């Protein structure tokens, strides 16, 4: 979230401005809009892989997967933001008839970066926990093959399970599906990975 905030706005004013913007996305919290920054190439690849693999695993289920084009609302006065992936498994409900602000995700995922990791782990997770429908929150590293899944427990606590290494299989209980980290990190090169050999010429 950028430190440069606009003058105080109502949620309705924010939505009007956001819907009129052609290419820039902004979050909203407590009366202010905050411009969101773009991601790196690996960040974009991981998001695309994650959405493809989870969407494929849910192809025959009633659940639907959405990209960061879809805004979610924590509460009318609270955070409005664009998670890297959101999943609904019941009929999607929206803030209004524009159907662009989701209210009832069952799973949200964020791909971490150096500039957003503390925000995604801290403030954003604290906000996401207020969404009654949310059952799981996934944090996907782009520094190494690691997916951390926080699951809501019956008594309200959140239990963390980590899946690490390209051979690991990540389980999403709320979706009743599993995804291989090898697929989430397909074509992603980490610092220290061996350089693949060049193909022979001729």
Q: How far apart are CA 201 and CA 197, in angstroms?
A: 12
* Sign of the alpha-carbon torsion through 54, 55, 56, 57: positive
Confidence of residue 198 (pLDDT cuts 50, 70, 90): low
Contact call for residues 175 and 65 (beta carbons, < 8 A): no
pTM above 0.75, yes or no: yes
Centre a 10 Å sphere on the Cβ of residue 17 and count the other Cβ atoms it contains.
14
Residue 201 is predicted with a pLDDT of 57
Give per-residue pLDDT as tens, 44-71.
999 999 999 999 999 999 999 999 999 9
Q: Which tokens is 82 given?
A: 């664009």
Mean pLDDT of the chain: 91
Which residues are CB-contacts of 44 (< 8 A; sequence separation ≥ 6)? none
| Cβ-based neighbour number of residue 79 at 10 Å | 20
Between 148 and 193, the higher pLDDT residue: 148
CA atoms within 13 A on the CB side of 141: 14
Q: Where are the domains of the chain?
A: 39-184
Supply the DSSP symbol for 76: S
| Domain 39-184, CATH number (from 3.40.50.620, 3.90.1570.10, 3.30.43.10, 3.30.470.20) | 3.90.1570.10
d(C-alpha 101, C-alpha 56), whole Å: 24
In the predicted structure, residue 3 carries a pLDDT above the cut 50: no
């Amino acid at each position: 979230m950028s430190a440069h905030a606009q003058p105080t706005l109502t949620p309705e004013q924010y939505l009007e401005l956001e819907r009129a913007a052609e290419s820039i996305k902004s979050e909203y919290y407590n009366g202010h809009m905050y411009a969101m920054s773009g991601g790196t190439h690996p960040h974009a690849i991981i998001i695309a892989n994650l959405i493809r693999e989870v969407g494929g695993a849910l192809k025959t289920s009633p659940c639907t997967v959405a990209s960061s084009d879809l805004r979610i609302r924590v509460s009318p006065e609270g955070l409005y933001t664009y998670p890297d992936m959101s999943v609904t498994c019941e009929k999607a409900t929206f803030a209004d008839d524009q159907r662009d602000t989701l209210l009832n995700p069952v799973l949200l995922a964020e791909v971490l970066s150096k500039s957003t990791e503390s925000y995604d782990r801290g403030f954003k997770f604290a906000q996401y926990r207020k969404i009654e429908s949310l059952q799981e929150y996934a944090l996907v590293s782009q520094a190494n093959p690691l997916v951390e899944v926080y699951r809501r427990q019956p008594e309200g606590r959140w239990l963390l399970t980590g899946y690490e290494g390209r051979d690991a299989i990540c389980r999403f209980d709320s979706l009743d599906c599993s995804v291989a980290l090898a697929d989430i990190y397909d074509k992603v090169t980490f610092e220290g990975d061996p350089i693949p050999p060049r193909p022979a010429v001729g």
